Structure 1
Amino acid sequence: MMKQLIAATSAALALAGPAAAQQDYEGETVRVIINLSAGGSTGVMAQNFANHWKEHIAGNPDFVIQPVTGGGQMKGIIEARNARPDGLTVAWVAWSGPTRAIGPASQNVDWSEFDVIAGMGVPSMAYGRRDIGDGISSAADLAGAEGVHIGGYRPGSYLDLTARMSLDILGIEYGYTTGFRGGSNIVAALQRDEVNFHVTPAANYFGGIEANVVEEGTGLPLWYYPLTDADGTIVAEDSFGDIPTFTEVAEEITGEAPSGPAWDAVQWLNEGMAGVTWFIGVPAGTDPETLELLRTSFEETYNDPAFREEARKVSGMAPTYTPAADMEALIASLRDIDAEISQTVLDYIESGTQ
């Protein structure tokens, strides 16, 4: 599994000559490209982080968040990759590295075309409308319910895959509508009753869905997928309160702990993708001193109590942090994916396009 990798490998491949070092950012504007809409958890977290990142960089540059959507989230990645490697364009993009590595060629990403700054992530969770079937008041009521309909991003999205695999594990039939360009679009569709079930980053849930969908009575939280440390121990997260884990829900509905190929794939997706929801990097060839400045200032910002307090206030939790060396190791691990897990995921991606 990915967490068992101990060797880190460099993800930097200079495709152009290194740009001049950018050590003082006074008067500069840093463009942060996201590949989803500004109103979702990606845009909100990037903006919150940028508000504090500027304070840890000499010259206190301005940060501008630029959504570049479309192409199965590829347009934003391509836009960032093709920017000048001058330290003034940063990719903050929905990662999905594992599924991109085994999915359609059009969704593959050569991450060596970026110099890595870090990875960040938040656990994912499921929520739904209260009027599913004859009405539900808890996740257990989904058993036997008719009319469950997932709203998703694309068949290769780890959130979509996790949603579909989870419902299959629970034995719940469902419909699936994909192609939404951001979490806010799915929330709007759910409020219009066009879809009624969604797996989303928890920051999206606590950052707006809880207030706008749950507290006003339309929906309810169903379960979350906890992250684990290197020893496989669940990392406690008090933000979820009484919301059960998916394992607890599966045991209640099916009478046993989840198992089998779909569950193995869910765990793999959660480990390699929820833990790293976002890839943060710059175009390959960025001057080493500038890259080190960005990495160091990023880590300082992550540990800044002011950022962590704001993240909890706006998104309900502080995200996880994966330093550059660990991200490079994770990227290297994509070359050796378990064959059964790979096939399970590929089968789901293919069936999701039909």
Structure 2
Amino acid sequence: MPTRTPAALALAVWAATAVGCQAGSEVDPEAPFAGETVEVIVPFREGGGSDAYARAMAPYLQKHLGEGVQVRVQNVLGASGIQGGNDFALRRKPDGLTLFVTSGSNSLPYLLGEPAVRYDFNDFAAIVGSPAGGVVYVSPATGAHDMPSLCDASGLIYGGVSPTGLDMVPLVAFALLELDVQNILGYQGKGAARVAFEQGETNLDYQTSPAYLASVAPLVDEGTAVPLFTFGQLDQAGNVVRDPVFPDLPSFKEAYRACRGSDPQGPGWEAYKAVLVAGFSAQKNIWVHREAPPPRIEALREAAAATSTDPEFLAMAAELLGGYGFFLGTEAETMFQQATSLDQQSREWLLSLLRDQFDVAL
């Protein structure tokens, strides 16, 4: 994660405080957004999951922020999502009029300390967050029909996109399970990886919950795919529990126990929980600068809370949300902090895995 010298940190805190106080003095606590335009930065191209999330939320945030407010979405592309984060952190005023939508593609590089990352989530205040889930499944040709048979299987082939993206979650899981698996990375997306599974190029795959329900559940019904476990969800107490969208499938913690006879523990397990939160349990988040005027932060959080219970929004966004709910305000921050508080030993375990198995040096 980004580091700062004491002098630089002191200067940044002084400057942010000065700007925040100045901006705060101009804000009407009764109508903090009256006549203003709020810009929502999406660090990915139009049509993707984060863009769809932002564009679904924007009109309802506008609705619940009150009359005279406009909320618009701007796509800031580059560096697989990192450029948009850097733009938000370094170029946008902390006046509460700019928001930032993140996904696992922003939080995982931050967690790993990628040099290109210039943003620091400690400088942001969460408005709202939404979890996602993922299901791991195999071809029946592998002979795997449950977790013990998966762990005994040979010749497994997994198709993914990148070891430092969302694929990091299954790759860490496979490493902890010590599967006999060949990882083929470089597919253009998980949709392409699923097609490779259907064509027999691979025999082990995962899909996010919406994609699984739409495209893999029919394969299960046909008998050409066997679901084995979900990544699980991390609760507020830091426990990996079953995915509420797939209550009949074991979580990864249960899957590990079924294979190894005991619960997972140690630095690898702590690394798994961190990437699970960054990639799935706190996958989509909307942030504002922490130094923004407090009345605006409060109003944004109230608007997000109202949106999360708005019947019209919930009906419109049901497929987008995939059956999951929301984390609101400080609750979203608490969840996200479980990903970014990775201890040094666990972080070294993760970096060693990337270096030794995937030739990725950070």
TM range, smaller chain: 0.7 to 0.9
Identity %: 21
Displacement of 1:291: 2.7
Q: Whole-Å Cα distance in 1 between the matches of residues 71 and 266 of structure 2? A: 45
Instruction: Say whether residues 1:127 and 2:127 are aligned partners.
Output: no
Of 94, 104, 111, which residue of structure 1 is paired with 2:114? 104
Q: Whole-Å Cα distance in 2 between the matches of residues 270 and 333 of structure 1? A: 8
The residue aligned with 1:75 is 83
Residues 35-60 of structure 1: per-residue CA shift (max 9 Å, x gap): 34554443333333334322211127
Q: Whole-Å Cα distance in 2 between the matches of residues 29 and 180 of structure 1? A: 39
Trace 1:1-354 onto structure 2 (pairs within 5 A): 14=16, 17-18=19-20, 19=23, 20-21=26-27, 23=31, 30-59=38-67, 61-81=69-89, 82-94=91-103, 97=107, 100-107=110-117, 109-112=119-122, 114-128=123-137, 130=139, 134=142, 141-143=149-151, 144-153=153-162, 155-157=163-165, 159-178=166-185, 185-193=189-197, 197-199=204-206, 204-206=208-210, 208-216=211-219, 219=225, 221-231=227-237, 238-271=244-277, 274-283=280-289, 285-324=291-330, 327=333, 334=340, 337-351=342-356, 352-354=358-360
Q: Secondary structure, in 3 states, of the residue corresponding to 1:296? A: helix
Structure 1 residues 307, 84: CA separation in 2 closer, same or farther (over 3 Å shift)? Answer: same
Residues 93-144 of structure 1: per-residue CA shift (max 9 Å, x gap): 12564762443322363235x541335131532334637x646555555331
Residues 224-264 of structure 1: per-residue CA shift (max 9 Å, x gap): 23334444566665421422211232233334433443223
Residue type at the aligned position of 1:215: P
Q: Whole-Å Cα distance in 2 between the matches of residues 279 and 290 of structure 1? A: 17
Residue type at the aligned position of 1:243: L
Displacement of 1:349: 3.2
Structure 1: 4+ residue segments shifted above 6 A: none
Displacement of 1:328: 7.5
Q: Is the 8 A contact 1:152 1:198 kept in 2?
A: no
Q: Whole-Å Cα distance in 2 between the matches of residues 180 and 67 of structure 1? A: 24
Q: Is the 8 A contact 1:117 1:323 kept in 2?
A: yes
Residues 258-285 of structure 1: per-residue CA shift (max 9 Å, x gap): 3443223213433566432233223465
Displacement of 1:189: 3.4
Which blocks of at least 5 consecutive residues in structure 2 are unaligned? 1-11
How many residue pairs align between the two structures?
A: 332
Q: Whole-Å Cα distance in 2 between the matches of residues 148 and 187 of structure 1? A: 16
Structure 1 residues 24, 15: CA separation in 2 closer, same or farther (over 3 Å shift)? Answer: closer
Displacement of 1:215: 1.7
Q: Is the 8 A contact 2:41 2:98 kept in 1?
A: yes
TM-score when scaled to structure 1?
0.74
Q: Whole-Å Cα distance in 1 between the matches of residues 285 and 335 of structure 2? A: 13
Q: Whole-Å Cα distance in 1 between the matches of residues 77 and 94 of structure 2? A: 21
Q: Whole-Å Cα distance in 2 between the matches of residues 150 and 139 of structure 1? A: 19
Residue type at the aligned position of 2:127: A
Structure 1 residues 14, 344: CA separation in 2 closer, same or farther (over 3 Å shift)? Answer: same
CA RMSD of aligned residues (A): 3.9
Q: Is the 8 A contact 2:33 2:296 kept in 1?
A: no
Structure 1 residues 166, 330: CA separation in 2 closer, same or farther (over 3 Å shift)? Answer: closer
Which blocks of at least 5 consecutive residues in structure 1 are unaligned? 1-10
Q: Secondary structure, in 3 states, of the residue corresponding to 2:300? A: helix
Displacement of 1:176: 3.6
Q: Whole-Å Cα distance in 1 between the matches of residues 139 and 337 of structure 2? A: 39
- Give the structure, 1 or 2, with the largest relative contact order (CA under 8 Å, sep 6 or more): 1
Structure 1 residues 151, 264: CA separation in 2 closer, same or farther (over 3 Å shift)? Answer: same
**Larger Rg, first or second structure (1 or 2):** 2
Q: Secondary structure, in 3 states, of the residue corresponding to 1:169? A: helix
The residue aligned with 1:7 is none
